[in-house]
Amino acid sequence: MENLVKPLADGFESMRAQQKKTQEQVEALAREDDEDPSIPLTEQHPSAPELTKALADTRRSPLTRRLRQIELNERVRLKIDSYTGEEDPKKWLTAFNLAMRREKYKSYDEREANYCQVFVEHMAKDALTWFSNLPTESIDNFDDLTNAFLKHYSMHMTRITRNMFTTTQTQGEPLRSFMERFKQAAVTLATCPIASRWKHSATASGMTPSLRRICH
């Protein structure tokens, strides 16, 4: 009997060992699929200091500790859309200020903290990225925040319009070709509400004098 049982037991042990080996190979292949082969191993598995820095970056704030520690009595809800970086910055800021003036505050500090916190909550997409990249604790009041906001986005809109008005038709260039280049220059304004009043004048200013006379 022992001569019959022992080979069977050995066979089962061998089968289990093979199954374990196969499972380990499958798991190894799955791990390889999860990792991008184009990224070095040192980047696939961040070290503890790198993870600590990444976590710290998500917690840093351009608002000073003083502003962040001011207690806000209740959450302010405004009936305005978030700013994404595509809207007219001055018009959006005007709408924001008008909406915020309806709120009541117990002190100047509470007002400043509310204005800054609610302003940040209404940043979205590229605008939220812009705010997140401001220097740590560089904003101590609402004037600091609006000055940084207008400086950045007014310059941004100026660059866009300059690109449109400097797209000019070369001598001998077909109108179709010029219009294609102009559309490419204006593509960043496709969703911008303030673009419509610029496009016609920018197109006309870029045409050669002869075509401008024909089109008008």
**pLDDT tens, the chain, 216 aa long:** 555 445 555 655 666 666 666 566 645 554 554 444 454 544 455 566 777 666 665 678 999 999 999 988 677 788 899 999 989 999 999 999 999 998 888 899 999 999 999 999 999 999 999 999 999 999 999 999 999 999 999 875 555 555 555 667 777 778 777 777 766 666 555 444 444 444 444 444 544 454 444 444
The confidence score (pLDDT) of residue 104 equals 85
pLDDT at 155: 76
> Cα angle vertex 28, ends 27, 29, to 5°?
90
Residue 60, pLDDT score: 84
Extents of the domains making up the chain: 58-159, 166-215
The CB-side HSE value for 25 (13 A sphere, CA atoms) comes to: 6
Cα angle for residues 77, 81, 82 (degrees, 5° grid): 90
Amino acid, single-letter form, for residue 198: W
